[in-house]
Structure 1
Amino acid sequence: MDSSISVTGLKGLPLIQKGDDIAALICNTVRLLDGDILCIATTIVSKANGYSRLLEDVIPGEQACSIASVTGEDPRFLQVVLDQAVDIIIETPFTLTSLPCGHVGVRSGVDASNVEHGYAVYLPPDPMGEASRIAERIREISGVSCRVILTDTCGRAFRRGQTGHAIGWSGMTAIRDFRGDCDLFGKVLEITEEAVIDEIAGFSNFVMGESNNGVPVVLFRGCPAWSGHDEMYFTKQEDIIRRSLQKEKC
């Protein structure tokens, strides 16, 4: 297998506004090939689709105000956070929530950076659908079949610092499943499942940067195909960290 993989941050894309065609902008910026993987920051997908709130129009409720009294955050921002969540896992010292798509993240992934002053941008409600639509639009424009990963920056349990995570994806499975394969010594692998899309998203975040780099899309070329499944998220019954946090809250 050829192990040569190139990684290129796409520069020159304009600041995304509501209604922009992200797929068309990408196709106008770079010549794509079948099998390429595009990692796209969810922020620009949300901005293009109008997934944002003007904070001065948000009226915070009792829960948002209660959390803000402890954390010192803007209660209007916290109300946007709560509006996206289907489950509040913990409220303080930071608000950890789960979203309808299954993603678990701090403050529901709501962000006020790299967005116009006074606004908060939230994650696409259907990130899998958004990834699929972008891939299909690229196919319409260029005739090329690309794989697409929508990324967001998240913290990690037990470690300091943030990394890129895959929020939505199209054209590949989330997990590369090694169960049933044999290792170098012939032992059958029983539990090895590799979260490939998170690994790719993590490196794309390194290329994108976290401040003013202006690189919201990263192109991976030469990544081989893999087989596996899309069961990325633990169920509530499987997730011992969530169960422990919620037990502590009670």
Structure 2
Amino acid sequence: MEVFAVEGLPEVRSGDDLAALLDEHVDLRDGDVLTVASTVVSKAEGRQADLGEFEPGDRAREIADRIGAITGERKDPRFAQAVIEESEEIVLAAPFILAVTRFGHITVNAGIDRSNVPGGDLLLLPENPTTSAQQLHERLDVPVVVTDTSGRAFRQGQRGVAVGWTGLPACRDWRGEHDREGRELSATVEAVADELAAAANLVTGEGADGLPVAVIREWEFGDHAGHDALFRDQENDLVRQALAEFEYDT
């Protein structure tokens, strides 16, 4: 397959017609997959905010004070309040905030970004990235993956992940297929939406690159079963259950 970043996109601002901008700057073909960074989706959808908009409550002040005591660095309680308001649940409150977004993604600080935010302090994730992907898909007629970068437990570094998608299943389900020795696979589910997001991140980069969109060409899902259960159910997420009982010892 081929993966390339879309060049020449202008700075996206609130109210911009993102689909029209993309249609103007990339010649899409049948079979292409379009990956779009959540940052530009959020900007077009007006998801920028100022810290002053968030009045910290007792919970936010408690979290900020506790993180400050652990790390030795002041945590703005207004930021903690923003995370609380953008979250369905706080899984971990110290030594950092790990939150469940309203659309099911678990990430540090509810995915709130403080980089590359012209005219504001904060950039919030799209309210529903899959809905955002569907709107682009309807206009551009190709599968769309909305991406973000996320850290990984047990490993250093970040990689691209899918936070919204449409036009393709999120996962390849290999269960019921067989390996080269004829053994039936019973557990293997491949998170292809995440793999495509990570591949796109290799060419879009981080920081000041200014390349939020990539095209993946000549990739095929293949003759496999597929499903969209990319986010684990809480009942089956043993790590999340353990974190719910975890207390950081200061």
Instruction: Pick the TM interval, shorter chain.
Output: over 0.9
1:84 is aligned to 2:86: yes
**2 CA distance for matches of 1:157 and 1:225?**
27
Q: CA deviation at 1:154?
A: 0.6
Show the counterpart of 1:44: 40
**Structure 1 stretches of at least 4 aligned residues deviating more than 6 Å after TM superposition:** none
Gaps of 5+ in 2: 68-73
Show the counterpart of 1:153: 149
**1 CA distance for matches of 2:76 and 2:157?**
23
**1 CA distance for matches of 2:8 and 2:76?**
33
Is residue 89–residue 246 contact of structure 1 (8 Å, CA) maintained in 2? yes
**2 CA distance for matches of 1:245 and 1:230?**
25
Q: CA deviation at 1:124?
A: 1.1
1:11-26 alignment runs, 5 A limit: 11-26=7-22
- Give the partner amino acid of 1:135: H
After the TM superposition, which of the residue ranges 177-186 and 165-174 deviates more from structure 2?
Answer: 177-186
**2 CA distance for matches of 1:84 and 1:12?**
32
Match among 215, 221, 238 for residue 219 of structure 1: 215
**2 CA distance for matches of 1:34 and 1:244?**
45
* TM-score, normalising length: structure 1: 0.92
Q: CA deviation at 1:134?
A: 0.7
Work out the percentage of aligned pairs sharing the same amino acid: 41
- Give the partner amino acid of 2:170: A
For residues 22-50 of structure 1, give each alpha carbon's deviation from its aligned partner in whole angstroms, at most 9, with x where no partner exists.
11111111110112111100011011001
Q: CA deviation at 1:117?
A: 5.2
Match among 211, 225, 236 for residue 238 of structure 1: 236
Match among 53, 57, 62 for residue 61 of structure 1: 57
Show the counterpart of 2:25: 29
Is residue 19–residue 49 contact of structure 1 (8 Å, CA) maintained in 2? yes
**2 CA distance for matches of 1:75 and 1:113?**
19
Q: CA deviation at 1:247?
A: 1.2
Match among 99, 102, 115 for residue 101 of structure 2: 99
Q: 1:19 to 1:207 in 2, by over 3 A?
A: same
**2 CA distance for matches of 1:115 and 1:201?**
22
**2 CA distance for matches of 1:120 and 1:40?**
19
Partner of 1:56: helix, strand, or coil?
A: helix
Gaps of 5+ in 1: 139-144
- Give the partner amino acid of 1:158: F
**1 CA distance for matches of 2:57 and 2:117?**
24
Partner of 2:104: helix, strand, or coil?
A: coil
Show the counterpart of 2:71: none
1:186 is aligned to 2:182: yes
Is residue 56–residue 118 contact of structure 1 (8 Å, CA) maintained in 2? no
* TM-score, normalising length: structure 2: 0.92
Show the counterpart of 2:138: 136
Cα RMSD, aligned residues only: 1.3
**1 CA distance for matches of 2:199 and 2:227?**
21
- Give the partner amino acid of 1:229: H
**2 CA distance for matches of 1:38 and 1:16?**
17
Show the counterpart of 2:169: 173
Is residue 53–residue 80 contact of structure 1 (8 Å, CA) maintained in 2? no
For residues 166-205 of structure 1, give each alpha carbon's deviation from its aligned partner in whole angstroms, at most 9, with x where no partner exists.
0000000001011111111111111111000101101212
